Amino acid sequence: MALLQISEPGQSPDPHSRKFVAGIDLGTTNSLIATVRQGEVVVLADARGDVLLPSVVRFHADGQVTVGRAAQQAEIEDPLNTIASAKRLMGRGCADVVDCPYRLACGIEGMVRIETAAGVKTPVEVSAQILAALKARLEETLGGPLSGAVITVPAYFDEAQRQATKDAARLAGVEVLRLLNEPTAAAVAYGLDRNPEGLYCVYDLGGGTFDVSLLRLSEGVFEVLATGGDAALGGDDMDAAVVALWKARGAKAESPEEIRRLLRAARDARERLTLETEVAVDVAPIYVGLLSRADLDAAIDPLIDRTLAACRRVLKDGSVRIADIGEVVLVGGATRTPRVRERVGALFRKTPLHDIDPDRVVAMGAARQADLLAGNAGAADMLLLDVIPLSLGIEIMGGLTEKIIPRNSPIPASRAQDFTTYKDGQGALAIHVVQGERDLVAECRSLARFELRGIPPMVAGAARIRVTFQVDADGLLNVSAQETTSGVESRVTVRPSFGLSDAEIERMLQDSIASAESDAAARALRELQVEADRMIEAVGAAIAADADLLAPGEHDIIAARIAALKEACGGEDPKRIREETAALDRASAGFAARRMDAGLERAMKGRSVTEFR
């Protein structure tokens, strides 16, 4: 039975003043949700007391969906309709996927699709089911709606994978406050706990992804110096390596059920070898034998080698020597493997920290960040400065990549570069946005293509086309292109080639669980109303705080727009709400700008007192 909670005298939480926000670790193997209550991070458990929700979703022929442990239990009896490790498929095309245990619906452009008894599903829909289950858990536990969440992603996730994660949240009806890199989240949990200063290296080996990040902590600022990793390397690959070993020793597995059983046994044996030195494996009639820790070590060493190579590269990128690193932090279930700890310790010449549960630490850090972003009183005063993991660029003549924002650039980032036409009278320019480190476009990930049209006729090389990349704090990209001599402009929010189109998302919203109670139009209306409310609240708070910065008459103009927007919100016309929201935004733009400038001035003054003493 749950214990009744009693708050400290004078700290009685007012249920109306506090928003329920959460940190969500959407993992390959397990997912978690955590929140901050009375200053403490709480990882929420289900009715059985489990905090880990297995990231497994089963689609039944009758349209029913089960998520978590119940789905995991059906993995062997119903392997094709029970989807595990969908995170590995997020933002991926068919050509990217090898060795997938499901029936993939290929021949369709864009993201991988899985054929199930309930129809064709995308990894985004699978992830949305997991997010919806976590959202429901929080709402049942706290007795109120979830108003926003920080969702973690591997630092090494590319644009398509990040966008896919955001799309999944949208389908699940979860408002994303921020996408946060997993190692950064882990550093927050450790950093706030210990409050140390100096260089941290976070080694995060999860079920399906590997990240390594180098951070500098000082005065509440978490600054990522460099990040690296492999978006397709983790505990799942260790299981596959063990299965490969068993096959070499005579195991015969052909059907999906048999392969699943072997993989399950491999994970089980691997976990038991954390404490034991040899375990008996019985997957009769497929395979029976012994697995020693030495066997396991030999099988996974090549995988660990890859992680250590990434560590060395990150050190080089961050211009940091091993001796300068203060602490090495282990994150992710796969770092429980003794061989991983041993080899990471050997590389960094120190014993890595793992005293915060490596399964929970990411969700805990994300919950802290959510608390801060929600503006909750008493939230930790900290600032996270993160970087982009992979270079962003565009294709130039000869199939080559021109990097515009190099990897490990701090975000938000913005960079413009000028290009020119290659033929006389060229009236349009195709812009192909790519991500990756290689010089050849073919070896990078294609993100998006768009065209700048209407360039006036000029001789080759005379046009000046300025391409501007802007990466926001979620690591998501916006690209615009302008011909500067004529002013012709084109602007796109990058929807990755391996992503979903807006139309697809609309369709999914219609079929999705989150909209079961209402149709897509009502859902869209509600999204607009929420945004409008947020806007009204923000402008109201701004006026209350800085009324002295209002220009004469400005108050009345803004108040009129607020009233108009409130009225629009009471109605059902989405177009009007959108227009009135934009009108309020315009009407308050000058005021917002003055407030921001004043905020900066105040901050500078605060500094001069301490700095020029």
Partner 1 sequence: MARNYFDLFELPAQFDIDPKELAARHRERIRVWHPDRFAQGTSEERRRAVAMSADLNDGLKVLRDPVSRARHLLSLRGISTDEETDTNMDGAFLMEQMVWRERLEEGAARPEELTALAAEVAESRDAKESELARVLGDERATDLGRARVLVRELQFLERFTRELDCATAEAL
Residues in contact with partner 1 by CB under 8 A are 177-178, 221, 369, 372-375, 383-385, 409-415, 470-473, 534-535, 537-539, 541-542, 581, 585, 588-589, 592-593, 595-596, 599-600, 603-604, 607
Q: How far is the CB of 442 from partner 1 (least distance, A)?
A: 20
Whose Cβ is closer to partner 1: residue 414's or residue 426's? 414
Closest to partner 1 by CB, 272 vs 415, is 415
Q: How far is the CB of 316 from partner 1 (least distance, A)?
A: 9
Spatial distance between the Cα atoms of 582 and 30, rounded to a whole number of angstroms: 40
**At its nearest, how many Å lie between partner 1 and the CB of residue 556?**
18
252 an active-site residue?
Answer: no
Can you name the residues that pair with 181 across neighbouring β-strands?
153
Alpha-helical runs (H) found in 512-588:
520-545, 554-570, 574-587
First to last CA, the chain: 58
C-beta of 581: minimal distance to partner 1 in Å? 8
Please state the three-class secondary structure of 418-444 as a single string: EECCCCCCCCEEEEEEEECCCCEHHHC
268 is catalytic: no
Is 237 buried (19+), middle (13-18) or exposed (0-12) by CB count in 10 A?
Answer: buried
Residue 219 appears among annotated catalytic residues: no
Q: Of 241 and 477, which has the nearer Cβ to partner 1?
A: 477
Q: Which is nearer to partner 1, 380 or 513 (CB)?
A: 380
Catalytic residue among 87, 121, 135, 166: 87
Verify whether residue 211 is a known catalytic residue: no
The count of other CB atoms within 10 Å of the CB of residue 564 is: 16
Q: Where are the beta strands (DSSP E) in 272-412?
A: 278-283, 287-292, 327-331, 383-385, 392-396, 400-405
SS3 202: strand
Q: Which amino acid is at 353?
A: L
Q: Cα–Cα distance between 188 and 352 in angstroms, integer? A: 17
Cα distance between residue 500 and residue 160, in whole Å: 9
Phi, psi (rounded to 5 degrees) for 250? 110, 0
Minimal distance in Å, beta carbon 592 to partner 1? 4
| Cβ 236 to partner 1 shortest distance, Å | 30
Residues 6+ apart with CB under 8 A from 578: 528
Task: Please answer whether residues 150 and 177 qualify as being in contact, where contact means their C-beta atoms are separated by less than 8 angstroms.
Answer: yes
- Smallest distance from partner 1 to CB 605, Å: 11
Residues noted as catalytic: 25, 87, 182, 204
